[in-house]
Amino acid sequence: MDAFHVVKLGTQVLDEVRRRVQQAQLHRRGHKNDPLYKVRGLLRHGLEHLTERQHRKLTILLQLGDPDGEVELAGSCYQQLRTIHSGTVSVRERRALAEKLIGTFPSCPVPEIARLGRTLRAWRAQVLAYFHTDGLSNGGTEAINVLIEKAPQASPRLPQLRQLPAADAPRGQRHQDPTSQADRAVTTLRSEEPDVSCVGDLVHVPRIDVELRVVRAQQLRAGADGGRSEARAPPNRSSTHSPDFSNELPAQDTR
């Protein structure tokens, strides 16, 4: 396990302790004028990089916002975790400090630090392997992966699949979209007087049945008007296909 992931675990634990103490003291999230909210950045920095003014600010604000000293203790553990991966001391001293932290963190009174200690104890072999590989790290690979994830990527648009034409379709109609043809047919039916032949083809009803229904409706309407309007004549078709509806017409009043 490289230094990046170990220190990242310490940073997350430190932020969790700070937020928990903030909620316990003020019963809300941190605001910009709260003491613990002001030191959130200073706690993550190494103490060797802070100026004298920043040291004073950190000490004063921790006294105001951390009466029980939990955030201060978590910050001290975080700084020790950073030290085992820094180059200011020898490798032997850093390895000895790492073994000490792995053994003492699980018994820490701060629950978040104790949980971090149990995690390090479970990964003890991987954490100590850092010192056997002369400080090798995959930090460069992680940095390149972050740049790749943040780089804008052009998502190619997938081509829309077309329905294959029928094998027996005419040459000029093989590349026509059947969906658009159906839409045009429905639009024509809605805008104009319905074409009996067209309706018959769409709903798969024989044309003779549709025409007979139209004639039947006209005859019934004519009978209801008392003979004032004449029913339209049925289409000129052979007697085998056009039945006689004269017996079914309602009797007209001859009085």
* Residue 151 lies inside a defined structural domain of this protein: no
Q: Is the pLDDT of residue 229 over 90?
A: no
pLDDT of the residue at 3: 81
Give the chain's domain count.
2
- Rounded Cα distance between 201 and 64, Å, is 86
Q: Which two tokens stand for residue 182?
A: 């159906």
Of 85, 117, 137, which residue sits at a domain end? 137
* Distance in angstroms between the alpha carbons of the first and the last residue of the chain: 110
Phi, psi of 84 (to 5 degrees): -70, -10
Could you tell me if 84 and 199 lie in one domain?
A: no
Biggest CA-to-CA distance, the chain = 127
Q: Flag the least confident range among 3-7, 26-30, 32-36, 178-182.
A: 178-182
pLDDT of the residue at 203: 47
What SS3 class is residue 8?
A: helix
pLDDT of the residue at 199: 45
Mean pLDDT over each residue of the chain, to the nearest integer:
75
pLDDT of the residue at 69: 93
pLDDT of the residue at 178: 46
- Contact 249/223 with Cβ under 8 angstroms? yes
* Residue 153 lies inside a defined structural domain of this protein: no
Judged by phi (left if over 0) then psi (alpha if -120 to 50, else beta), residue 135 lies in: left
Q: Flag the least confident range among 44-48, 80-84, 147-151.
A: 147-151
Q: Is the pLDDT of residue 135 over 80?
A: no
pLDDT of the residue at 179: 46
Q: Please identify which residue in the block is written with the tokens 């006689």.
A: 244
Q: What is the DSSP string of 167-225?
A: TTS-GGGTTS-HHHHHHHHHHHHHHSPPPHHHHHHHHT--HHHHHHHHHHHHHHHHHHT
Could you tell me if 131 and 18 lie in one domain?
A: yes
- Rounded Cα distance between 252 and 61, Å, is 106
Could you tell me if 22 and 119 lie in one domain?
A: yes
Residues with Cβ within 8 Å of residue 56, at least 6 apart in sequence: none
Q: Is the pLDDT of residue 146 over 90?
A: no
Residue 23's identity, in one-letter code, is: Q
Confidence of residue 137 (pLDDT cuts 50, 70, 90): confident
Q: Is the pLDDT of residue 136 over 90?
A: no
* Residue 205 lies inside a defined structural domain of this protein: yes
Per-residue pLDDT of 30-70, as tens digits, reads 898 899 999 999 999 988 899 999 999 999 999 999 999 99
The more confidently predicted of residues 196 and 210 is: 210
The more confidently predicted of residues 79 and 186 is: 79
Mark out the alpha helices in 27-138 (DSSP H runs). 35-38, 40-44, 52-65, 70-83, 91-104, 111-122, 124-132
Confidence of residue 87 (pLDDT cuts 50, 70, 90): low
Of 110, 137, 164, which residue sits at a domain end? 137
The more confidently predicted of residues 58 and 183 is: 58
Closest CA to 98 of 119, 123, 128, 137: 128
- Contact 207/200 with Cβ under 8 angstroms? yes
Burial class (CB in 10 A: 0-12, 13-18, 19+), 88: exposed
Q: Is the pLDDT of residue 169 over 80?
A: no
Could you tell me if 116 and 198 lie in one domain?
A: no
Could you tell me if 7 and 132 lie in one domain?
A: yes
Q: Is the pLDDT of residue 93 over 50?
A: yes
Could you tell me if 83 and 199 lie in one domain?
A: no
* Residue 28 lies inside a defined structural domain of this protein: yes
* Buried-state track 199-231, b at ≥16 Cβ within 10 A, e below 16: ebeeeeeeeeebbbeebbebbeebeeeeeeeeb
| Domain membership of residue 26 as a residue range | 3-137
What is the mean predicted confidence (pLDDT) over 11-20? 94
